[in-house]
Structure 1
Amino acid sequence: MEIKIGIQETPRELVVSSSQTPDEVDALISEALDSDDGLLRLTDDKGRKYIVPSGRIAYVEIAPSDVRKVGFAS
């Protein structure tokens, strides 16, 4: 699954590839917005950790990973 996070006053979005379900990611985001420290913590498929201040989040897009086709199509 691919998670895109738009951060305020930043021209690029943060893209995280995760094996978590959309419901799990939704719960993590809601929890981060309601928590005292206000940090969203995500871990990608390769074990890298991302920590984003929830007060700076502009938007979050949760989508299935794109399946890229190789070769020529007619």
Structure 2
Amino acid sequence: MEIKVGIVHGPREIVLESEESAADVEAAFGKAVTDSAVLALTDDRGRKVLIPASRIAYLELGQEAARRVGFGSL
């Protein structure tokens, strides 16, 4: 699933592909915002992105089951 995170006063958004479900990401986002904590997201290659919840402008969640194109879809 593609996740886009807009950052307050940031020129670009953070875009990553993740294996997490939309419900899991939404729950983590809600918990981070209510606790004024850090939102931790892991992409499909195992890299972790940490974003302070106070700096998040918006969170956009894409389709969970996007069709893959190319050699990686085999």
Aligning the two structures, in what range does the TM-score lie when normalised by the shorter sequence?
Answer: 0.7 to 0.9
Q: Which has the higher helix share?
A: 2
Structure having the higher Rg: 1
Give the aligned residue type for 1:9: H
- C-alpha offsets along residues 22-74 of structure 1, whole Å, 9 cap, x if unaligned? 111100100111225x100011000000000000000000012654767xxxx
Distance (whole Å) between structure 2 residues aligned to residue 42 and residue 68 of structure 1: 21
After superposition, residues 13-24 of structure 1 pair within 5 angstroms as 13-24=13-24
Match of 1:64 in 2: 63
Q: Could you say what the CA RMSD is over the residues aligned between the two structures, in angstroms?
A: 1.7
Does the residue aligned with 1:5 lie in a helix, a strand or coil? strand
Structure 1 segments unaligned to the other structure (5+ residues) = none
The percent identity for this pair of structures is 42
Evaluate the alpha carbon distance shift between residue 48 and residue 69 of structure 1 in structure 2; reply closer, same or farther with a 3 A threshold: closer
Structure 2 segments unaligned to the other structure (5+ residues) = none
Match of 2:39 in 1: 40
Distance (whole Å) between structure 1 residues aligned to residue 26 and residue 61 of structure 2: 8
Offset of 1:16 from its aligned partner? 1.3
Q: TM-score, normalised by structure 1?
A: 0.83
Distance (whole Å) between structure 1 residues aligned to residue 60 and residue 47 of structure 2: 19
Number of residue pairs matched by the alignment = 69
